[in-house]
Amino acid sequence: MAKSESKVRERVQQPLVRQFSVFLENKVGALLNLTRTLSDTNVHVCGISVVDTADASVVRIVVDDPEHCHDALGKANIPVSESNLVVVEMPRGPEKLDTVLRSLVAAEVNIQYTYSLMIRPHDKALLALSCEDPEFARDVLMKAGYRVLSQKDISR
């Protein structure tokens, strides 16, 4: 196997980005308590999405240190679920979102939801995508020439 082919294969196998989903009671200060719990354990939120209903909120977060986040939430008795996201570096320009989405649709990738991250490791916007098959979505985007970030790329 050629050296460049080995690097491509290694890059394709990089781990995806871990997302934590937390269900919070819909009350004043609940989100602050969650972020304070993480901040107190030196876990930094890199991306956040809040979906609100009348009774509860689903808070989805991407952090720089997933292991410490998992431990901190467990110690605080905060129920959490984990899943994998595809995080793609966006090309410059507002019309570029369309080109990223076209690549995924052409491969029949089902996108469940998406949100942007607050960090810019390479001075470019980042889009987090929850997909039915995140590994396949990652491979599609990489083959289309987009830079897909792994957890290591956003971790400290």
Residue range 116-134: mean pLDDT, rounded: 94
pLDDT of residue 13: 61
- Of all residues in the chain, the percent with pLDDT exceeding 70 is 89
Do residue 138 and residue 93 come from a single domain?
Answer: yes
pLDDT at 95 over 80: no
Q: What percent of the chain has pLDDT over 90?
A: 76
The span from the first CA to the last CA of the chain, in angstroms, equals 32
Residues 76 and 94 in one domain: no
Who has greater pLDDT, 3 or 123? 123
CATH number, domain of 89, equals 3.30.70.260
Please write the tens of the pLDDT for every residue from 9-28.
Answer: 544 467 799 999 999 998 89
What's the total number of domains in the chain?
2
**12 lies in the same domain as 88:** yes
Exposure string of 123-147, with b = 16+ CB inside 10 Å and e = fewer, is eeebbbbbbeebebbbbbbbebebb
End position of a domain, from candidates 83, 105, 135: 83
Two tokens at 24? 């919070």
Q: Is the pLDDT of residue 147 over 90?
A: yes
Query: Looking at the structure, do residues 148 and 100 belong to the same domain, yes or no?
Result: yes
Q: How confident is the model at residue 92 (pLDDT cuts 50, 70, 90)?
A: confident
Nearest to 49 by CA among 127, 139, 137, 135: 127
- Residue 40 and residue 8 in one domain: no
Position 115 pLDDT exceeds 60 = yes
Are residue 62 and residue 27 in the same domain, yes or no? Answer: yes
| Residue where a domain terminates, one of 28, 60, 83 | 83
Q: Are 54 and 116 found together in one domain?
A: no
Q: Say if residue 156's pLDDT is above 80.
A: no
Structure confidence at residue 72 as a pLDDT band (50, 70, 90):
very high
Residue 7 clears pLDDT 60, i.e. is over it: no
89: containing domain: 3-16+84-154
Q: Does the CA dihedral 68-74-80-82 come out positive or negative?
A: positive
Q: What is the pLDDT of residue 2?
A: 53
Mean pLDDT for the stretch of residues 85-109: 91
pLDDT of residue 84: 97
Mapped onto helix, strand or coil, the DSSP state of residue 136 is: helix
Residue 90 sits in the same domain as residue 79:
no
